[in-house]
Every structure is written in C-alpha cells, then in structure tokens.
Structure 1
Amino acid sequence: MQDWVRDDLVGTGAQARYLIRFTLPVVPLLALFLLIPGPLWIGLAMMALLFIPLVYFTIALMNVYRRHRLLVHGLDPALLNADAQARVDRTREDYERRHGRLY
C-alpha cells in the first residue's frame, strides 16, 4: 500500500484531494445553519464564520499533516519537496552549463 499512499500524498492532485478530504464532510453540518429562522444571509454568514477559518487552517497545516502521514507509513518526508528540489537542481545545472562554476 506504500505506492498508493505515496501517490495519494505527493502525486498529481494531492493538494486538491487533501482540501476536499477535510472540507467536504463539514459542508452538510454547516448547511444546518440554513435552517435557522431569519434572512438567508444570516445562515450564510454563520456558515462563512466557521468555513473560512477551517479552509485557512487546513491549507496552513497541509504540509504538516502530509509529512506526518508519510512518516506513519514509513516513507521519506522529503518526498513532499521532491518536485521543488528537482526544479532547483535543473535551474542550477542550467546556470552552471551557461556560466560555468563560480566556486
């Protein structure tokens, strides 16, 4: 199952899956605010007061949670930064190819 976990956490669409996994189950619970008597905007405002911080903290803690899940499943947490590191390496190699080593 490690291949599946690796693909789920660092593969294509991993960030979208993470956001959906945390926010979608909360939507039906927040929709209960629409049953409160009064204007529609009051129910929507109450939903927003809970949903916006949820999304904010979900995004803020995305790498922490994904790194933890990688560790729990015995995978290298550096996999989260593999794409960024590959881009840095390509840029460095391109620079060195064009301008030579500076040190």
Structure 2
Amino acid sequence: MTSSPTPTRPNPIQFVGYILGRTLPASMQAWVRDDVLGPGGSRRFLLRWNLPVIPPLLLFLLIPGPVWLPIMMILLLLLPWTYFSVALMPIWQRHRLQQHGLDPGLLGVKDRERAMREREAYERRHGRVA
C-alpha cells in the first residue's frame, strides 16, 4: 500500500485560508518562504492587500455630481492605504515567516548580502583589502 506524497503547495481551500491569515502545514514551509520572500512577493502582497479595498471604494462613483469628485475621494483613501501597506510590508512578512515556523532573519538576507558586496567593493577601491 502506497501513501500519497506530502503536498508542498496549498490546495485552493488552503490557499484561501492562507490569504485570510491561517497557517499552512509544515510541509509547505518552502512554498510560504517563496511566497513571502521570493520573486514577486512584494507584488503579491500589495495585490492581496489592495484589491479587496477597491470594490467598496468604487461605491463613491455613485455619488451624484461631477465625476472628478468621487475619483478624488477614492484617491484620497486609496493612496494613503497603499502607502501604509508598503510601509508595513516588512512587519507583515516577518509575522508570516514566524507564523509558519521560519526564521524571520530570512527577511533581510538579500539586503545584508548586497551591503557586504558594496563594502568589499569600497574597501578594494580604497586599498583597505590586502
């Protein structure tokens, strides 16, 4: 009797739960790491955070008057919402990593590697490396 392999990607129900903040099984840690920190992770976060806000904001278009007025009201709410979602993205990423049992130190690995390369290049340029 063969057992089915452990899933490494969430099924649609698990994915919706993940989007709403639930924790996935430990077998999906690699997928969570790639979702949060991988290529396109920031774009996915912003889409998941901002798209649900747009339909209620579109209700402003039902306000009578010149069309520029509801558009300005939408922008008045959407721009700060987007600004704060970008500002709070690292906090959310750290939370998601901790929630799934991953090291939150993974969050700054790329930045630390880039800083180390820049420092080495600086030291080579100025003769501080033997």
TM-score, reference length from structure 1: 0.88
1:31 paired with 2:58, answer: yes
Structure 1 residue 16: Cα displacement = 0.9
Q: How does 1:59-78 map to 2 (within 5 A)?
A: 59-78=86-105
Partner Cα distance (1:96, 1:56) in 2: 36
Partner Cα distance (2:121, 2:66) in 1: 60
Structure 1 residue 88: Cα displacement = 2.1
Partner Cα distance (1:41, 1:66) in 2: 36
1:19 paired with 2:49, answer: no
Task: Identify the structure with bigger relative contact order (alpha carbons < 8 Å, sequence gap 6+).
Answer: 1
Q: Which structure 1 residue ranges, 5 or more long, are not aligned?
A: none
* Residue in structure 1 matched with residue 36 of structure 2 by the alignment: 9
When you count helix as a share of all residues, which structure comes out higher?
1
TM-score, reference length from structure 2: 0.71
Q: How many residues align?
A: 102
> Over residues 3-60 of structure 1, what are the superposed CA-to-partner deviations in whole Å (9 max), with x where a residue is unaligned?
1110011101111111111111111111111011111011101111111110111011
Give the CA RMSD over aligned residues.
Answer: 1.8
Partner Cα distance (1:101, 1:66) in 2: 36
The one-letter amino acid of 2:116's match is D
